[in-house]
Structure 1
Amino acid sequence: MELNEHTLVIDTLKEVDQSRKCFRMVGGVLVERTVKEVLPALENNKEQINKIIETLGTQLQAKGRELNEYREKHNIRVMGEDDQKQPPKESGDGSGGKPSSAGVLVS
């Protein structure tokens, strides 16, 4: 969202006179500057945000691979994840898959 905001503000300020008054929020304080002073700072901030997004994306991919390797190494499965991959287990008594009632008295 911040990247979109910076892009929108930069595009708007490029069309404005460079000597026009401009207000910028710095650390919770509203500061009066000119467009000429604010525009380079905004472009620098936008570049920094892009770099951070790229770095976080690569870190996320690396952690995802690390997580998958750990899950495979330790044979960790999430409940419900592999249910569709494995066929249902059949009991060997030939009762058609119904649960056995061995050891239960019914009157």
Structure 2
Amino acid sequence: MSKTSNKGGKTRSNEEVFAGFQSLRNEQRQLANKISELEMDLNEHKIVIETLHAVEPKRKCFRMIGGVLLERTVAEILPELETNKERLPSAIQALNEQLARKGQEINDYIEKHDIRVQRGAQHSAEEPSQDSSSAKSNVLVASG
């Protein structure tokens, strides 16, 4: 492997470029996973709130917060759940904006380092030739 990527003024090896790309992709996956987790929490809050509306307010109720089980009444827990349910969409929206910015950051990184992403089994007769132009670009092969 040769040293490439002179666009930013610094010379970086293909391994360093690939590691930076993988790091950005991992951050993007983490954001997507967090968004998914919060959307599931929002759905759970909706289900629990619907269920608790049908229960008498003085009834004993348990709530798990950070691994600790709290004993309260339905009347105490219901307003807290409704407040959390109202806040979750704004948190999800903020994470979606971060995810969009991370996607743009990845695209900028790909452009800056002249990276071509190929999927595992899709490279066929269009293999890059070993001329001077192909020596200047990085190729990442993503499996799956």
**TM-score of the alignment, normalized to the shorter chain, above 0.5:** yes
- For residues 25-45 of structure 1, what are the alpha-carbon distances to aligned partners after superposition, in whole Å with 9 as ceiling and x for unaligned? 233332221111100111122
Task: State the number of aligned residues.
Answer: 88
Q: Does 1:38 align with 2:77?
A: yes
Structure 2: state its 5+ residue gaps. Answer: 1-39, 128-144
Q: Deviations over 1:6-57 (max 9, x none)?
A: 1110111112222222111233332221111100111122223322211111
Supply the distance in 2 between the matched residues of 1:78 and 1:46 (Cα, whole angstroms).
Answer: 40
Aligned-residue identity in percent: 54
Give SS of 1:4's match: helix
Q: Does 1:14 align with 2:19?
A: no
Q: Hey, what does 1:67 align to over in structure 2?
A: 106
Q: Relative to structure 1, is the Cα distance of residues 65 and 27 closer, same or farther in structure 2, using a 3 angstrom cutoff?
A: closer
Q: Which has the larger radius of gyration?
A: 1
* Structure with the higher fraction of residues in helix conformation: 2
Let me know the Cα RMSD of the aligned residues. Answer: 2.6
Greater strand share, 1 or 2? 2
User: Is 1:76 matched with 2:115?
Assistant: yes
TM-score after normalising by structure 2:
0.51
Runs of at least 5 residues in structure 1 that lack an aligned partner in the other structure: 90-107
Q: Point out which structure has higher relative CO (alpha carbons under 8 A, 6+ apart).
A: 2
